[in-house]
Structure 1
Amino acid sequence: MLDFGMTIGGKSVAGDKTFDVFNPATGELVGRAPNATLDDLDRAVASAKAAFPAWAAKPDAERKAAVAALVAVLEENAEAIAHTLTLEQGKPLGGLGSRFELGGAQAWTGHTASLDLPVKVLQDNNEGRVELHRKPIGVVGSITPWNWPVMIAIWHIMPALRAGNTVVIKPSPFTPLSTLQTVALLSGKLPEGVLNIVTSDDQVANVGAAMSSHPDIGKIVFTGSCATGARVMKSAADTMKRLTLELGGNDAGIVLPDCDPNEIAEKLFWGAFINNGQTCAAMKRLYVHDDIHDAVCDAFVAYARNVKMGNGLDEVNVLGPVNNQMQFDKVASLVADAAKTGNVLLGGAPDEGLFFPITLVSDLPDDAPLIHEEQFGPALPIIRFTDVEEAIAAANASENGLGGSVWSKDVEKAKALALRLECGTAWINSHGGLNPVAPFGGAKMSGIGREFGEEGLFENTEIQVLHI
């Protein structure tokens, strides 16, 4: 059984109580995580606050090198962390699963370490010189979800450290173990107090809410649902915290009639079902032109029915279970409703435990909940359209605006349509791929701010303008 302590001030802290973490594939107990109190949170924040002045004062080149050195830590421990991740999250070890996630964590760490924070000269003439400096904020609080727990933790931690901040992170209670393991390893290569972690199921104390209102945390980075993001924003208002919120998506894909259904079926599948659909930027709605609608459905079903789902520790499987009962029940409810009014092409009936089969549903009415609510699981509505203007309007008729895609052999036409989508990221002939150089975040209710690249790094700084 796995047993990891919290890391506070560079030391392992067990906590007075623990909570259980279960394997969603088997229901078996994987391990126990410390159940932090508000006092534990205060100690972690105090430790980060005490470590901040020295870390912020380090020469930029030293912080850059310190973050770069963490790549090797992740690489050396990748297999052990991946195994923990599969046990608690359910995703497979291979394919686009836990090893893939650890590879992404290394790539994002390395790229973040390479970024610079130059002084920008705004004016330099006989009237004087004006410089823009970017300075660290202080203590950054990170709250992470259960779908990509290690990689999203890295997305939060590394730019904060690179900019000169210190960090307190709280992972989801469904997947705390891999983050505890990762932070303990990373913290060992950093000065004491620079990186801290607390874990809680929020039953003993609402640690997440306390973080977003904590007077000594200067910024919150949160990845999760729109509803929780709104609560974080409200709670942070009294202390004027800086915020980066990457929230839910209901991404639309639009397939134009010049596409070859057999050529795009595999890409459509992984655009929708990477991580079993439990990805904010996965495709959640697919609009297909009437001319090729049936052919796309046939090709999609033919590919999907051969994808193996099962226990992630079995290397033959490329998809795992839904991570938790709450999310499973939501998917099941949306699919049950869709089955009453639409045409279930594949799947539809829940399997044993938390395994839900890949489900494709066509010919749903426009007001179907499966179309308008983020399912965040292995179910996809396929919607017929005849007029591309109607498809664009339907894609934009959502309170979310995280991502979207257009599929066509005419790339220029697809580009023109993609630029009309009301979303933070648009793809052409693919969906959901992220890149550490490309800023990522949402429009509308899908959040505020950006992560990744220079823009993401800058969000971890305050601007100070110097007039000389």
Structure 2
Amino acid sequence: MPKTLDISLLDQINKSYIGGQWVDGKSGRDYEIKDPYDHSTVSTVKLANKEQIRNAFETANKAQKEWARTSAEERREVLTKALNFLEENKEDIIQLVIRETGGTALKGEVEFGFGISDINDAIPMVEKIYAPKEYSSNTPGKVNRVYRLPLGVITSITPFNFPFNMATRTIFPALALGNAVVHKPDIQVGLVGGQIFAKALEEAGLPAGVFNSILTDTEESGDEFIINPNSDFISFTGSTAVGQHIREKTGNTMKQMALELGGNNPLVILEDANIDQAVDIAIFGKFMHNGQICAITNRIIVHQGIYDAFLEKYVERVKSLKVGDPKDPATVIGPVINNKQADKIMGIVEKAKEEGLTVAVEGARNGNVISPFVFTNVSNDSTLASTEVFGPVAQIIIAEDDDDAIRIANDTEFGLSAAIVTNDIQKGERLALEIEAGTTHVNDMPAVLESNVPFGGVKNSGIGRFGHDWVVEEFTTTKWISVQKEKLEYPF
């Protein structure tokens, strides 16, 4: 039997958290967070209004000044206690991932593990601020020191697909580095995407106002999270269209930002690849969380020499995937996030059929659950190949040779992640450098995350990088201080 979620925890975190207080939203509107599979209500929340959002930013701006003055050990203690709280409540958090996102138990385990890894890598960052590096000077008696200082208030906006993990990679580094955070999780997953962190940090003794997490939607917030003058940095994960909107709205400001946007990620399978290994990678790398991952495989590009053999085994495996209730541990394909998204995916499928693409596996829709589709002999200039599907729809493209495979992989406006499958490791790494993407993995899938390496995209897949050393640069400002120890003689 699947485990049940502790209702008492839900009752503690179904409000906005502003200035150290749990408060009902004042918009006058309620929002029901629903289970995407059976449409049961997980929780009902009152949406915050724009005045409350502004109050959160003002409070964060004031609280950050004091938080920035705390010692590394003080920050370490708070973040470690928050980490302990999350680990102690692991089972409830995983059940909340399943209920809010429609993810499987495996997805919940994976997401929780990624999030905990992010926090463990963030905690040592407390040492990175106010720790100067010395540089030489051409001036006698001068000492140059370069400091990293907290940036200020970080706006954090996260999506519905991996809400726990997408939040940890911003919230905890930002706090470790002496910043305050105003966080907006996607309201569909607002509890596991935001309020669980507010509870953890409250229990850990984080000073009031340093972290604020607001349950609201764009109808109430408008652009307040990105244009508020108390925000110094915008961390956003979501669609390219929204990322472009953020750039436009902040174009006359000096706000810094890291934007992880859409992807059309290629999995390139070369002629010398082990076919069984390639099928394993292509199955998991396409259908993990029903394809609802920015870095998921979108286009499978296969060398013509092994195309038929690969396709036969791939189709057989796809047909064996269990579809249904994500609360069943055996389920691989559960629901997509909502009815609108399911409509969009089925629209993409119908368009592909209208354009004459070959259907090797015919899926079906049941509510928000879509069983897998597989299209073959897909042209890279088709609508399907140009679209970030974000659902359980696979497409396979034939490449004439290695060079053609790389050409096809790069023939897209996106550049988030990619992968190459080959038995020749040296060739794989050489070709990986030729693929226009922020990350490329040899003999693995495109959707790989590790918290101690840089993650982010090129082209229309975003700007900035997440990951240990790189996020330190994103979330701090650099200051040069020189100390002249010997008297200087000036020419006038």
TM-score normalised by L of structure 1 = 0.95
- Cα distance in 1 for partners of 2:399, 2:157 equals 39
The alignment's C-alpha RMSD in Å is 1.6
In percent, how many aligned pairs have the same letter? 32
How far did residue 282 of structure 1 move?
Answer: 0.8
Provide structure 2 residue ranges, at least 5 long, that are not aligned to the other structure: 1-6, 484-492
CA contact (8 A) 2:359 2:374 kept: yes
**C-alpha contact (below 8 Å) 2:54/2:224 kept by paired residues:** no
Residue correspondences, number: 463
Letter aligned with residue 133 of structure 2: K
Matching of residue 402 in structure 1 with residue 416 in structure 2? yes
Code of the residue aligned with 1:150 in structure 2: it is: F
Matched, 1:283 2:305: no
In structure 2, how many angstroms separate the alpha carbons of the residues matched to 1:318 and 1:457?
Answer: 36
Secondary structure in 1 matching 2:55? helix
Number of the residue aligned with 1:192: 208
CA distance in 2, matches of 1:183, 1:34: 19
Do the aligned partners of 2:152 and 2:231 also contact (CA within 8 Å) in 1? yes
Matched, 1:50 2:62: yes
Aligned 8 A contact 2:428 2:442 in 1: yes
SS in 2 for 1:305: helix
SS at match of 1:232: helix
Aligned to 1:62: 74
2:135 is aligned to 122
Deviations 1:443-466 (A, max 9, x none): 011111000111112210111111
Structure 2 contact 35–41 (Cα < 8 Å) conserved: yes
CA contact (8 A) 1:187 1:196 kept: no
3-state SS of paired residue (1:418): helix
User: Equivalents in 1 of 2:87, 2:98: separation in Å?
Assistant: 17
Instruction: Answer with 193-202 or 112-121: which moved more.
Output: 112-121
- Counterparts of 2:380 and 2:285 in 1: how far apart (Å)? 22
8 Å contact from structure 1 (residues 68, 114) kept in 2: no
> By how many angstroms is 1:67 displaced?
2.1
Residue by residue over 1:386-425, the C-alpha shift from the partner in whole angstroms, topping out at 9 and shown as x without a partner, is 1221221111111111011111000000110000011100
SS in 2 for 1:369: coil
Cα distance in 2 for residues equivalent to 1:119 and 1:303: 55
How many Å separate the matches in 2 of 1:120 and 1:298?
A: 58
Shift of 1:138: 1.0
Determine helix, strand or coil for the equivalent of 1:143.
strand
- Correspondences of 1:42-121 after superposition (within 5 Å): 42-92=54-104, 94-95=105-106, 97-115=107-125, 116-117=127-128, 118-121=131-134
CA distance in 1, matches of 2:83, 2:221: 33
Question: Distance between the aligned counterparts of 2:71 and 2:93, measured in 1?
Answer: 31
Secondary structure of 1:86's aligned partner: helix
For the Cα contact (< 8 Å) 2:372–2:392, is it kept in 1? yes
8 A Cα contact 2:238 2:261, kept in partner:
yes
Q: Write the deviation string for residues 25-56 of structure 1: whole angstroms up to 9, x where unpaired.
A: 01222221231101110121122112111110
Structure 2 Cα separation of the partners of residues 467 and 249 of structure 1? 44
Name 2:453's counterpart in structure 1.
Answer: 438
2:308 is aligned to 294
- Give me the TM-score of the superposition, normalised by structure 2: 0.91
For residues 114 and 290 of structure 1, what CA distance do their matches in structure 2 show? Answer: 48
**Could you list the per-position Cα deviations for residues 31-85 of structure 1 after superposition, in whole angstroms to 9, with x for gaps in the alignment?**
2123110111012112211211111011223323332332211101121122122
* Structure 2 letter corresponding to 1:187: L
> Who is 1:8 aligned against?
18
Q: Which has the larger radius of gyration?
A: 2
**CA positional deviation for 1:125:** 6.4
Query: Aligned-pair distance for 1:5?
Result: 0.8
AA in 1 matched with 2:217: D
The one of 165, 170, 186 aligned to 2:179: 165
Moved over 4 A (4+): none
What's the CA shift for 1:99? 2.6
Map of 2:42 onto structure 1: 30
1:459 maps to what in 2?
474
- In the TM superposition, residue 272 of structure 1 has moved relative to its aligned partner by 1.6
Q: Residue 215 of structure 1 contacts residue 239 of structure 1 at CA under 8 Å; is this kept in 2? A: no
What is the alpha-carbon distance in structure 2 between the residues aligned to residue 330 and residue 132 of structure 1?
A: 50
Cα distance in 1 between the residues matched to 2:435 and 2:454: 17
> Hey, what's the Cα distance between the residues in 1 that align with 2:375 and 2:442?
23
Inter-partner Cα distance in structure 1 for 2:277 and 2:198: 45
1:265 is the counterpart of 2:279: yes
